[in-house]
Structure 1
């Protein structure tokens, strides 16, 4: 990938995360990336293609981040902790990516492939939750979608607090948050 293409993608991530799809124009992306608008069209057919390319890439990075060193042979509690803490750490290093994913997963501009990639991401999380429900360590009364929403919603809101300086992430706070969230979904 060329430096220009990477600059365009990074600029688009920041702008889509902050302004949304409709509030982001190709000239704005070009200005942010320090390239001409025509350069964007050399790499991306249109703004929708650009959104889909970056959404697919960022969802893949997110999925890889929590699959890395995933404790498949450990307890559901340890697996959940790995996911939650991994999501928090990813959001610390990739705040705009988390905001992009959070705000665009239901966009009418997403391609079937991007929707499929999002479903794959959710399926991995749902598999862990379902296993926890089967082992009776995760609350069966809560729908899986609710548990995933509670977990991801907490990550997004905490990421905003950390990024905005309202909270400082420490290991003690991270452990406490992990324990409190687990209590909210466990039996």
Structure 2
């Protein structure tokens, strides 16, 4: 069950439960969070959570799809306009990541934990594969254009995301949008240098 299948009158409560779950998963990890703790964080009775999410796995999958789907939507928005070069497309993707991380720090931190293999269902794995395809597609286009270094696209994506995650750990995600334009541009340039084929 995901957020979109919750009956309309109860959508606000389901959303609150998902936000509480994401906050706790980001802070304590999925494995370290119990269902009663999520209910307490959302200020509802324990029984309420089971009306929307019949198990911890159902809640974890709904939270994953809520976060991953939000990230994919943001990346899709920021890359809607065709880019003139691989470097410009990278700038669009960077903007999407920084905007999502700054607006939804708990969701981004949860995704960054890479702790999902123990509970993801087929629908969640399909969504994860969709965003992987988005990322590797960018790398492959850049390699074909001669602008991105050779190598396994998934590995190059992991290197870039690792650098971005390291930046967020240093400054905290919710503050990334408060960095000066110069600082953000410098960080973007440094991550691009990981990917760029040197001439």
Q: 2:11 matched to 1:40?
A: no
Q: 2:188 matched to 1:178?
A: yes
Contact 1:92 1:162 in 2 (8 A): no
Matches within 5 A, 1:48-67: 48-67=57-76
Partner of 2:96: 86
Matches within 5 A, 1:86-125: 86-104=96-114, 106-125=116-135
C-alpha displacement of 1:108: 1.1
Contact 2:112 2:165 in 1 (8 A): yes
Contact 2:78 2:96 in 1 (8 A): no
| RMSD (Å) for aligned C-alpha atoms | 1.9
TM-score of the two chains, using structure 1 as the length reference: 0.92
Partner of 1:13: 22
Partner of 1:26: 35
TM-score of the two chains, using structure 2 as the length reference: 0.87
Which stretches of structure 1, 4 residues or longer, exceed 2 Å deviation after superposition? 71-74, 104-107, 164-168
Contact 2:53 2:59 in 1 (8 A): yes
Q: Secondary structure at the match of 1:136?
A: coil
Gaps of 5+ in 2: 1-7
C-alpha displacement of 1:73: 4.1
Gaps of 5+ in 1: none
C-alpha displacement of 1:55: 0.5
Contact 2:22 2:63 in 1 (8 A): yes
Contact 1:98 1:156 in 2 (8 A): no
C-alpha displacement of 1:89: 2.1
Partner of 2:3: none
